[in-house]
A and B are shown apart, each in its own frame.
Chain A
Amino acid sequence: MSTTRTRLSPTVAIVGGGPAGLRTARELARAVPGRTLVLEREQEAGGVPRHCGHTGFGVRDLHRVLTGPVYARRMVRAAERAGAEIRTGAMVTGWSPDGGLEVTAPDGLFEVRADAVVLATGARERPRTARLIPGDRPDGVFTTGHLQNLVHLHHRRPGRRAVIVGSELVSWSAVLTLREAGCRTVLMTTERPRGEAYAMLPLAGRAGLRVPLRTRTRVTRIIGKGRVEAVQIEDVGSGRRWNVPCDTVVFTGDWIPDNELARSAGLALSPGTLGPAVDGALRTSRPGVFAAGNLLHPVDTADIAALDGAHVARTVLDHLAGRTRPGDGVPIVADAPLRWLSPATYRPGERGPARGRLLAWTDEYVPFPRVRVVQNGRTVAERRLPWPAAPGRVFRIPSGLLDAVRPGDGDVHVSLHC
């Protein structure tokens, strides 16, 4: 057994070749002296959009509407044209004792020692096991990511009758994928009183999909020996249970960041997202380590992740230019019904988050939300926002609401009111 690793010393190492990492690479490759290296563990860069067959990508960052695979290819090309080096099939497996990245690739083992590291490892859906859904363990149980991989990258067919668990934006993406593969969605179930993302779908699409959505229901058991035969559904209100015959179950949404590297580095985590806690400039708690994309806000759309990439690139340039690290920030705390806020730290007088927005996740639907910002018992700001806060998609809060926050005056609490 030998563990000798070839040393690579790029100026910047970016972990993850999805929209956030690729956009970071595109911005930095032409601006930094030395190399900008993207490490992507999949065989192809591009991230999740590669296997999202539907359209709607690129709106905010590229100002056009593309399908996922086209968007992914464009992001890769743009990063490459800017001069970034993208290594695919290269998996970062941990940190070396002196802070480098340990990488396994078909062409060998590497230790990557960069002046700056950007983590852009994204997020994934919690599978059935993490959600503790009991029953048999048959084949035919997927997450949306797994399903899309099967259908769009491997051209395989799932089953014929699917039950979809969850009603986030991604759940509708699963419906589209299933339909393309000739599998009918016989039920979409959500515990919430309304479908989270339903209102956002174009009416025509909604009518065309004809998906029976049952709110206030949950899956209580999966039934089937070799292959899924049915799921047991419970009406959360009455407790009544019944079986829905199906051969496919897709667990959608319920995101968790791929935080393994962040955690093994000992970075401070945001308790709400479980991703690294960052400030508005996307610095983590370790100097020289930055983060961007859905690792920080599980999950927002691909274009928002990409815009994070542009945002963090400026911070990285500051770091490389030796502009000093700022003083302590003020932690931003999400109060119920908000589950998390990103960024998790505010540094008064410093650069705010990308697009001047705090990103948040709500567990309750509030049609006309009033956002209140409180520090040390003092209401710092309060504003009614003209857009609803809905579970299942990111809620955006103008970061200007934090302008009056004072350093050294304790945590900032952000809450939602009717």
Chain B
Amino acid sequence: MTTAQTAPTADVAVIGAGVVGSAVARALSAHRLDVVLLDARADVGDGTSKANTAILHTGFDATPGTLEARLVAEGYHLLKDYADRTGIPYEPTGALLVAWDDEQLAALPGLKEKAGKNGYTEAGIVGPDEVYRQVPSLGPGALGGLSVPGESIICTWTTTLALATEAVRRGVRLLRSHRVESVTPGPDATVLHTDRGDVRARWVVNAAGLGGDVLDAMFGYDRFHLHPRRGELLVYDKQARPLVDRIVLPVPSKLGKGVLISPTIYGNVMLGPTAEDMTDRTDTSTTEDGYAFLLGHGRRIMPSLLQEEVTATYAGLRAAGDVSDYTVEVDAAQRYAVAGGIRSTGLTAGMAVAEHLLNLLGEAGLKLRERTDLPDPPRMPNIGEAFPRPYTDAGRVAADPAYGSVVCFCERVTRGEIRDALASTIPPRDMDGLRRRTRAMNGRCQGFYCGANVTGMLERALRTADEEGER
């Protein structure tokens, strides 16, 4: 690592290595610019991006005419294309919005119309028979639904990691565990004071997620206010996967999108999230009330799901704001840009947000000269369940026996994959980081069999990195 103090003044500093910040850094690095990407946490995608419901949205239900609606619709295609090129796993499962009462049933035509206004024309209203044909394990009482075939599930972890990895391979300096505590704008450059030293940059992009409004205030703004909205999730065992092959949502109400049941890209079934407005931006704990709420909904929507084992429980914080749209703006005088209030849809919209922001930056005076020497996009390890994984690949095992050595039995993660993750462009720095790269220890036994092995491999790698001064 280059220490911040001796580093040259960067052309652009991007604060926040979540899905949006990583996409912005990647987009910037396609140009002849010295870019630094900072994150307060020990890993990329470790804030709001990691605990997303991981849906690649068509944008059918966005508010027409908003920036969010436009960027989600564009981002949907950009990310799908990027996923094809880099190997980010996604599955076009489709979604079904289920109406459980007359009010919800009456709302379906309006939703279909809204989808059309958002440029999405494939949504279709279906009757109860078709609802139960699509999802036979639904609980009784569904009156009808809206079928949205374009909605997909995607790996939110690999998405952020792919964008950040490509950025780093293009030369972006990634500074993890650098929390920006204050800023000093100057005539030529802004100094970012972090808990690990100062970073100087001519331009600053605020993609700080849940901390976006605080950082915005450091630049003198008071245009949006964020608070964490906690979402708790239950992840059911893979044995539940045959119960549901598409995303099942309630018809949205004033209270938000409600509790969904969705297959995950890792072959599980997810029930959630809750929606609870909080003040503590670090409280990702799960609660008794949250579980009770989810189990109550689950019992009604899909009683058979509750017979299955729970493999994991999570709570994620999403950025809820008092502005109903994304805030993507550039202040040319301060050479400062913000991508703020990007909520859960930001996973889908991230790459479109980056393109949009780059245009704004260009108009504001940032010189964007395209590079011709870009490396190929990275090929990300596939951790999706529906695709060939190393343990099933005879050729890979023959070439390298480490891919035939299953270490995490529940998730079938091999020694080769863990080794690769530990030696990757952005290696993990803790167990959660390794989990997000490989799925190791994410399975039903939660470490009963593999915990000691996997943590041992991680610790050896971290010790080596320490000795080599890489951390």
Contacts and interface: CB of A to CB of B under 8 A. Distances in A.
A124 B237 CA distance: 15
Contact of B397 (A106, A139, A146, A154): A106
5 nearest A-B residue pairs (beta carbon): A127-B446, A106-B401, A149-B452, A145-B448, A2-B395
A127 B445 CA distance: 6
A91 interface: yes
Interface string A1-32: 11111000000000000000000000000000
A137 interface: yes
A134 B452 contact: no
Nearest to B431: A139
Interface stretch (B5-13, B97-105, B166-174, B284-292): B284-292
A130 B309 contact: yes
Contact of B447 (A142, A221, A225): A142
Contacts of B446: 127-130, 143, 146
B304 interface: no
A184 interface: no
A136 interface: yes
B404 A132 contact: no
A236 B445 CA distance: 27
Interface stretch (B66-74, B113-121, B132-140, B385-393): B385-393
Interface string A95-111: 00000000011111100
A28 B202 CA distance: 76
B406 A124 contact: no
Given A109-B404, A127-B445, A129-B312, 4 more contacts: A129-B313, A149-B451, A154-B452, A256-B309
B83 to A, nearest CB: 18
Interface string B415-450: 000000000000000010000000000001111110
A369 interface: no
A249 to B, nearest CB: 12
A104 B406 contact: yes
Contacts of B453: 149, 154
B310 A129 contact: yes
A107 B453 CA distance: 20
B406 A41 contact: yes
Contacts of A42: 449
A58 B323 CA distance: 69
B288 A108 contact: no
Given A145-B448, A153-B452, A154-B452, A107 B285 contact: no
A91 B409 contact: yes
Chain B interface bracket (under 10, 10 to 19, 20 to 34, 35 or more): 35 or more
Given A1-B395, A3-B393, A146-B448, A107 B312 contact: no
A260 interface: yes
The interface residues of chain A, by DSSP majority, are classed as: mixed
Contact of B404 (A3, A108, A145, A263): A108
B392 A124 contact: no
A25 B371 CA distance: 64
A320 interface: no
Contacts of A221: 285, 288
A127 B313 CA distance: 11
Contacts of B314: 137
B333 interface: no
B269 to A, nearest CB: 14
B456 interface: yes
A20 to B, nearest CB: 17
A41 B448 CA distance: 14
B393 A1 contact: yes
Given A106-B405, A150-B452, A156-B452, A137 B412 contact: no
B286 A134 contact: yes
A220 B444 CA distance: 21
A89 B453 CA distance: 13
A239 B237 CA distance: 31
B404 A136 contact: no
B133 to A, nearest CB: 23
Contacts of A128: 446
Contacts of A93: 391-392, 406, 412
A135 interface: yes
A295 to B, nearest CB: 14
B359 interface: no
A381 B345 CA distance: 64
Contacts of B106: none
A93 B406 CA distance: 10
Contacts of B449: 42, 124, 145, 149
12 contacts: A1-B395, A2-B395, A3-B388, A106-B401, A109-B404, A124-B448, A128-B446, A129-B313, A143-B448, A146-B448, A149-B452, A150-B455
Contacts of A89: 404-406
B366 interface: no
A221 B285 CA distance: 9
A365 to B, nearest CB: 27
A352 to B, nearest CB: 31
B311 interface: yes
A1 B311 CA distance: 30
Contact of B287 (A41, A125, A134, A153): A134
Given A41-B406, A104-B406, A109-B397, A136 B448 contact: no
A130 B444 contact: yes
A3 B288 contact: no
A124 B445 contact: yes
Interface string B283-321: 011111011000000000000000001111110000000
A145 B391 CA distance: 25
B402 interface: yes
Nearest to A134: B286
A42 B405 CA distance: 9
Interface in A143-185: 143, 145-146, 149-150, 153-154, 156
Nearest to A260: B239
B94 to A, nearest CB: 25
A333 to B, nearest CB: 18
B392 A109 contact: yes
B284 to A, nearest CB: 7
A107 B313 contact: no
Contacts of A150: 451-452, 455
Nearest to B396: A1
B452 to A, nearest CB: 4
B447 A146 contact: yes
Nearest to A6: B394
A2 B444 contact: no
B161 to A, nearest CB: 20
A105 B239 contact: no
A108 B398 contact: yes
A93 B448 CA distance: 18
Given A1-B393, A108-B394, A142 B406 contact: no
A156 to B, nearest CB: 7
B310 A130 contact: yes
A146 B444 CA distance: 13
A136 B285 contact: yes
Contacts of B448: 124-125, 127, 143, 145-146, 149
Interface in B179-229: none
A143 B455 CA distance: 15
A107 B445 contact: no
A89 B415 CA distance: 11
A59 to B, nearest CB: 25
Given A108-B397, A129-B310, A143 B291 contact: no
* Among A107, A108, A129: residue with most chain B CB under 10 A: A129
B392 A220 contact: no
Contacts of B290: 134
* Among B286, B393, B446, B456: residue with most chain A CB under 10 A: B446
B452 A3 contact: no
B400 to A, nearest CB: 9
Contacts of A5: 394
B204 to A, nearest CB: 29
